[in-house]
Structure 1
Amino acid sequence: MAQNSDQMKEEIDVRIGRPKVRGMDLLKDAHQNKGMCFTLKERQLLGLQGLLPPNIITQDQQVYFVMQNFYRWDNDLDRFIYMMSLQDRNERLFYRTIMQNVELMMPIIYTPTVGQACLKYGLTLRKPRGLYITIHDLGHVYDILCNWYIDDIKTIVVTDGERILGLGDLGAYGMGIPIGKLSLYTALAGMQPHQCLPIVLDVGTDNETLMKDPLYIGLKQKRERGPKYDALLDELMSAVVKKYGSNCLVQFEDFGNHNAFRLLEKYRNSYCTFNDDIQGTASVAVAGLLASLKITGKSLLENKFVFQGAGEASIGIAKLLIMALIELGANEEQAYSRIWMVDSRGLIVKNRPAGGVTGQKIPFAQDHEPIDKLEDVIKQIKPTAIIGAAAQPGAFTETILRDMAEFNEHPIIFALSNPTSKAECTAKQAYVATKGKCVFASGSPFKAVTIDGKTFHPGQGNNAYVFPAVGLATVACDIRTIPESIFLESAKALANMVTKEHLAEGRVYPPLADIRKVSTDIAVYLAQYAFKENLAFHYPEPTDKRHFIESHQYQIDYEEYIPPLYDWPGHSTKL
């Protein structure tokens, strides 16, 4: 049967390397659009002549234009919306702008502003991104994956919206988190953006405010739990493998505590998956603690840790600390004896009258009398480090901070809760109360603080230091399952990047401005580890691991389109 002209033209396009998308459609394609950077030759070849203003500019000039518009807005939420609209129009320009302004952009495109965006997602939604899979889609999850316009997916970030940052159950409004995480995968580690897919599992919400919100975009029903919920998760994981292969990374994000640990244990040995709230947070926090030792002068075994909170973040950090302590020579009993946890019912101890010591908390219950208040726990236990990850703003009171400075020369204060409004204390509060003695890190960014003429640059314990590197190494090396050791090795690698100059400034993490290099270096380190430990399925093993990792990274510079000269009737490519 004779082919029609459109079919013939498409075959010619494929043979000569001409993109199928041309003209106005090309300008609407964020993956390929270069805006006014298209050269005259490209404009003529691609059917763009007359569709753009005649001036031809450089990508750096485009970045300048973007920043001028960026500064026009007087609040961060509007800046977030502007940057997301740029991502929808011109992907390479979006990432180039971020990479040239990392420290400025990180708080805008992710924490803390992404929290505001999620709270108002019905207002901020401009263009659907990612997939919404509901509890009513049981039996059809694979079909929905097939509706996505790209088949070559390597990384998925999925949430059910039950515990978005420290903001609680936001249901379908939680889509902002997978989108933001995947943007960081590309910006900070160079993951290919077209290979990333954000997914929200909409199983309802228990947030009454959202149920009454006329702008709410999700299912207006109570959150589904039990067998149907589990069946949806099982079907998703099976459908991902069927559609994208067993080496497609699935990152779980912002699930409720009761599901986060359970699902991690259920899938971790059978699928390529990890939970960033548990494992990513743990890796970054442990890296900060390891770097802190260079200031305190103590070994990890000499420290005593008190956690404010016993949720997935705290327990994840504590478990990775246990692994690190055991690796240094402690037995299991000795390792657990260094970790004390405080939840909403007080210090977690054996046979606690207030109860509530169940599940993941049980191994951390100490032989000690019950203590109800965190202030009293600090006075009696006298820890060297306090770590907050329970989204209880102000939990680290001035009394606690002063007490920590009283019995420690350099107390370690980690206020890791996000967003900023949920932080246990601010950087200024910590430095002032301890008279500049503390080693401080936070989950959200804080400005530099000057005490007695010395300026401290508080470290931000941002998961972005680790999870993009883990994802890049996993995809590049074809790692099929991700053991806990990957996160401990990441923590060691990150801690080793903190220099004496960083420590002198009060930093326990490298500056965010260096994060692309940090991510690449950690990915290279993990590639070496993965091949050594037989975790990588990529064959043959590359001899130059750095070149191998860099070859997988997304390039933010525009590519020049120069197709071979070819003629077909009525449509010449000759200039």
Structure 2
Amino acid sequence: MMDGDFYYQDGVVKTHLTGKALLTIPQLNKGTAFSHEEREVFDLTGKLPDRVESIEEQCVRAYQQYQRFEKDFEKFIFLASLQSYNQTLYFYLIKRHLREMIPLVYTPLISHGVINFSTEFRATRGLYVSYANRNKIKQILRHRTNKDVSLIVVSDGESILGIGDQGIGGLVISVAKLAIYSIFGAVDPSKTLPVVLDVGTNNEALLEDDMYLGARHKRLSGSQYDELIQLFVSAVKEIIPDAFLHWEDFGRNNAERILTRYQGEICSFNDDSQGTAVVTLSAIFSGLKHQGKSLSDSRFVVFGAGTAGVGIARYLVKAMVVAGLTESEAYDHIYLIDREGLITHKTQQVTEEQLPFIKQSASLTLQDTLTESKASILIGTSAACGSFTQDVVEIMCGYTQHPMILILSNPHDKMEARPEDVIRWSDGRALVVSGSPSDDVVYHGRRFIISQCNNFLIFPGIGLAAVVAKLSQLTDDMLLLASDVVSHFCPKVQESGLLPSIDQHKEITTAIATAIVEYAIEHGYAKSQLNKATVIQSVEQSYWEPRYYPYQLDG
């Protein structure tokens, strides 16, 4: 028997738990769906209403309960509570109402859950690793509820897009990311593990808040911070050696160097730099078809030079090199703008990741940079609301027929511009995507669908590939392959948006996973013993759907 409270065998859940204990484990609780036979075997008779319901009947009731709440944050809390007592029903409900509920369990509303983590804390989930417990990390990992873990999302909560340093609230992001992995079919939630590294916070409001649950000290840095990261990675390698490790919302000074340091030791992925870059590349590939241009012919301005912005710029360079440019030529095509303006040789405090993008010129404003570069693609990752003004759009329209404007910051109050304004200022010529969900725009009788440039189109497929193949490493070639796969699902008509619909998530997830697994087998990155001829079958069999399994008493 596998160590833990339950395990799967031949389509059956086997567990030693009975009675009330069985009903308190969200991974196991079926509520009124336990059959009469199961109720007898597991001492549940009389602990539930006599009627046995299907998961569909439970879903109808849960949706009616959900609809009674008027405010989005109340709906968020209801869904979080449901996840805390019946995990399978939670995922079943969301998949039945995907378009309506994804914005509540992920962006943009997830930021409210992060901010209010301590005040709304009700039930624990995941693991908390603090510096004080740095020598107990192996013990903490061994005490996890889900024993058969394939995928870990870990955050230190320093750089949550749009809201910054939220300390221990970063756990909410880890939980939400794993929920998306499961909603989009990448992995059974009972094989996932959310983790927060509680290294303190530099958010004074949190440090002064009596309700704050995290470590009450300034954020660790230097050798202490690096020590904790090293101890955590070493513990994961020993205790859960085949896990796919997803790094989430680490600060600009740590994100890239952590990934670079450990991606050769354990299969690692940083969604903020890599995931954002890959889905943005897909949108750009789609937009280039409408512009009638090639990647190597284009120039780019990236407004916001943090983890996401630099990540996009780096993968643009990789893609342009594949397209035939030299690395030096590719860097010349990209203009990176930070708080002080265009990053140049005179810019103060340039990070190591920003160095290759330095321009030998005076520091320029966004408007001046566009005028000088004639960039046809503008990418916003700054969280500086309203930065893309009418004159910015009009400057681009002055030298390119269809400027591509990617408004990636979220939530809505951090967006560089409103899509409807960009469409109007450009007289319907701009190709627009946004990081947050946006309504369609009607302009002069034409309806424009504003695609959401969201990483959820990408990372579930990557995660599914990692789980199926037990990847030893996630390479840049695999990520570029994922971007290319998504681009083939993109609409062909401008008004239909630049990215595929969320309704295509199953096809996209399985297509990405299949392509990466095939590549991994061919190039020696797959630890699983797989036959390339049956990869599609292996991926489809691993695709997860929420359903109840029959139960048998173990022991």
Which interval holds the TM-score relative to the shorter structure?
over 0.9
The Cα offsets for residues 20-41 of structure 1, whole Å up to 9 and x where unpaired, read as 1223322222222222223333
> How many positions carry a matched residue from both structures?
549
Q: Distance in 1 between matches of 2:14 and 2:188?
A: 21
Match of 1:287 among 282, 285, 289: 282
Look up the match of 1:21: 17
- For residue 305 of structure 2, what is the aligned residue in structure 1? 310
Q: Which runs of 5+ in 2 are unaligned?
A: none
The residue that corresponds to 2:179 in the other structure is: 183
Deviation (angstroms), 1:542 = 4.7
AA of the residue aligned to 1:404 = M
- Structure 2 counterpart of 1:420, one-letter code: H
Report the counterpart of residue 80 of structure 2 in structure 1: 84
Cα deviation for residue 44 of structure 1 reads 3.3
Which residue does the alignment assign to 1:377? 369
CA distance in 2, matches of 1:400, 1:457: 22
Q: Which moved more, 1:488-497 or 1:41-50?
A: 41-50
Q: Determine the structure 1 residue equivalent to 2:360.
A: 367
Corresponding residue number in structure 1 for 2:393 = 401
Residues in 2 aligned to 1:17 and 1:425: alpha-carbon distance in whole angstroms: 50
Tell me the residue number matched to 1:340: 335
What SS class does the counterpart of residue 50 from structure 2 fall into?
A: coil
SS of the residue corresponding to residue 387 of structure 1 reads strand
TM-score by length of 2: 0.95
Relative to structure 1, the CA distance from residue 423 to residue 18 in structure 2 (aligned partners, 3 Å threshold; closer, same or farther) is closer
Query: Which SS does the other structure have where 1:26 is aligned?
Result: helix
Partner of residue 536 from structure 2, selected from 546, 567, 570: 546
> Greater CA radius of gyration, 1 or 2?
1
Q: Does 1:509 align with 2:499?
A: yes
Write the distance in 2 (CA, Å) between the matches of 1:253 and 1:84: 20
SS class of match (2:379): strand
Partner residue of 1:124 out of 116, 120, 123? 120
Whether the 8 Å contact between 1:283 and 1:488 is mirrored in structure 2 is yes
CA contact (8 A) 1:395 1:424 kept: yes
Please report how far the alpha carbon of residue 96 of structure 1 lies from its aligned counterpart in structure 2 after TM superposition: 1.1
Q: Deviations over 1:474-501 (max 9, x none)?
A: 121011111111211111011111132x
CA deviation digits over 1:388-446, x for unaligned, max 9?
11211111111112222232211100011122211111211211111221111111111
Is 1:162 matched up with 2:154?
no
Structure 1 SS opposite 2:349 = coil
CA contact (8 A) 1:150 1:194 kept: yes
| Separation in structure 2 between the aligned mates of residue 298 and residue 223 of structure 1, nearest angstrom | 46
**Mean Cα displacement is larger for which, 547-556 or 486-495?**
547-556
1:413-452 maps to which residues of 2 (within 5 A)?
A: 413-452=405-444
TM-score by length of 1: 0.91
CA distance in 2, matches of 1:181, 1:540: 27
Partner of 2:291: 296
Are the aligned partners of 1:187 and 1:516 in contact in 2 as well (CA < 8 Å)?
no
User: Contact 1:35–1:52 (CA<8 Å) still a contact in 2?
Assistant: yes
2:514 match = 524
Report SS of the residue matched to 2:548.
Answer: coil
Match of 1:227 in 2: 223
Q: In structure 2, what is the Cα distance between the partners aligned to 1:35 and 1:367? A: 65
Question: Which piece of structure 1 moves more, 35-44 or 266-275?
Answer: 35-44
Query: 2:134 & 2:38 partners in 1: Cα distance?
Result: 46
Alignment pair present for 1:533 and 2:519: no
Whole-angstrom CA distance in 2 between matches of 1:532 and 1:292: 31
List aligned pairs for 1:137-148, cutoff 5 A.
137-148=133-144
Cross-structure match for 2:454:
462
Separation in 1, partners of 2:483, 2:155: 25
Aligned equivalent of 2:70, options 70, 74, 88: 74
Secondary structure of 2:119's aligned partner: helix
Alpha-carbon contact 2:146-2:192 (below 8 Å) kept = no
Indicate how the Cα distance of structure 1 residues 96 and 172 shifts in structure 2: closer, same or farther if over 3 A, else same: same
TM-aligned CA deviation for residue 18 of structure 1: 5.4
Q: What is the CA–CA distance in structure 1 between the aligned matches of 2:102 and 2:9, rounded to whole Å?
A: 39
The residue that corresponds to 2:149 in the other structure is 153
Residue aligned with 2:184, SS: helix
Shift of 1:171: 0.6
- Whichever residue aligns with residue 530 of structure 1, its letter is A
Q: Percent identity?
A: 32
Q: Structure 1 pair 17/298, CA: closer, same or farther in 2 (3 Å)?
A: closer
Shift in Å, 1:215: 1.1
Unaligned runs of 5+ in 1: 1-9, 569-575
1:242 lines up with 2:238 in the alignment: yes
The aligned counterpart of 2:464 is: 472
The structural deviation recorded for 1:461 is 0.9
Per-residue displacement from partner, 1:77-134 (whole Å, max 9, x unpaired)?
1111111111111111111111122111111001111101111111222111111111
- Superposed CA offset, 1:265-302 (max 9, x none): 11111221121111111101111101111211111112
Q: Deviations over 1:330-362 (max 9, x none)?
A: 11122112111111111122x32x433341111
In structure 2, relative to structure 1, the CA distance for the partners of 1:552 and 1:108 (3 Å cut) is same
Asked whether the equivalents of residues 439 and 506 of structure 1 are also in contact (C-alpha less than 8 Å), the reply is no
Q: Does 1:257 align with 2:252?
A: yes
Shift of 1:563: 7.8
Query: Aligned pair 1:173/2:201, yes or no?
Result: no
Q: Shift of the alpha carbon at 1:562?
A: 7.0
Distance, in Å, in 1 between the alignment partners of 2:127 and 2:350 is 37
**Secondary structure at the residue paired with 1:197?**
strand
